[in-house]
Chain A
């Protein structure tokens, strides 16, 4: 029927122009924005874990996780200084610190100048921080404290689902059932609570907080130079 319809010429000036109303465009854009957001969320939760070989040596774990009120200490026993790092794996400033000052801290630990104690706290993102801290503990129990922490900070925008945490462990060569069970069952929760308590007793107000030889550093000392100075000054 439409084919046979005769086309009478119309005066374009009189023709009612079909215009898409801006309101509809806005609704469409809002829907697109939500679809994009859902897509990003899916990607964060399902993207592959890739460990960039940082080439950093893995320091030995001196004190593993699980001792109540004690953090995870890595490095060489007998180092003259000790660094305490209160961190949360979902804290953006901690990721910044790790990016900027991480290599310096690693060097101090590697050359035996200082030991490093991780105190993983879990308050920044109540939905995710405990899961990441628990996985860190499980990795530390397998001697991979530093590289596991680096792996999580290195891809901060990833959601780090339980699957992704187990994948990260695999990439670092932790491939045993016990690790997976510890990640799945959140088995270090009790220890993490004791770490939080210890941090509270020490008046740690936020993350990152760094102590060098039991002295809390100020915010402007949290630079590679500031850390080196603080460690050097204690010799």
Chain B
């Protein structure tokens, strides 16, 4: 039982860290869809037109996932979605790196071309890998302290605090 309690605390930290980053990342981009669309366009991965849609919708999705994780509701599916996001982000940044583009990931607003010496691909990928690990942790251990919803596997509605 002591081990269980310890896991719930780690899951709380994972929830707040992953959810906090998602929420901040979304909030910083949501106010300026034009900039967000250009950050997406800079990756040169999507056909014209789709970049605007992604730039418009992605920040709202990030905010929604971030909020779910922070309040602790639907932690497991939210963590799964966050994990998918991270895999996509890692793939996109890696591909930009491999193709020799010089862009900012635009993860927290901004984005677009930067001077060739000013890319931060490694840091961006490592950060996303770290967040992916948190998402994976929450998938396997969604039960946490101070969550709005109890352990998804227990149907009594008793909060796991």
Contacts and interface: CB of A to CB of B under 8 A. Distances in A.
Interface of A: 17, 19, 22-23, 25-26, 29-30, 32-34, 36-37, 40-41, 44, 90-93, 124-127, 156-157, 159, 206, 219
Contacts of A32: 60, 64
Interface in B21-79: 30-35, 37-38, 41, 48-49, 52, 56-57, 60-61, 63-65, 68, 73-78
A180 to B, nearest CB: 24
B64 A29 contact: yes
Contacts, number: 81
A37 B60 contact: yes
Interface of B: 30-35, 37-38, 41, 48-49, 52, 56-57, 60-61, 63-65, 68, 73-78, 81, 110, 112-113, 115, 149, 152, 155-157
Most buried by A among B38, B65, B110, B155: B38
Contacts of B32: 92, 156-157
Given A22-B74, A33-B57, A37-B57, A156 B33 contact: no
User: Is chain A's binding surface mostly helix, strand, loop or mixed?
Assistant: helix
Contact of A33 (B61, B76, B149, B156): B61
B129 to A, nearest CB: 24
Contacts of B75: 22
B115 A219 contact: yes
A36 B38 contact: no
B47 to A, nearest CB: 11
A90 B152 contact: no
Nearest to A21: B74
B155 A19 contact: yes
A44 B52 CA distance: 12
A22 B34 contact: no
A30 B34 contact: no
Contacts of B60: 32-34, 36-37
Contacts of B112: 91-93
Contacts of A206: 113
A41 B56 contact: yes
Contacts of B115: 219
A15 to B, nearest CB: 11
Contacts of B73: 22, 25
A90 B156 CA distance: 54
A205 B95 CA distance: 22
Contacts of B61: 30, 33
Contacts of A92: 32, 34-35, 38, 110, 112
Nearest to A158: B34
Instruction: Sort A-B residue pairs by CB-CB distance and give the 6 closest, nearest first.
Output: A22-B74, A33-B60, A29-B64, A37-B57, A37-B56, A92-B35
A29 B155 contact: no
A5 B60 CA distance: 45
Contacts of A127: 48-49, 52
B101 to A, nearest CB: 12
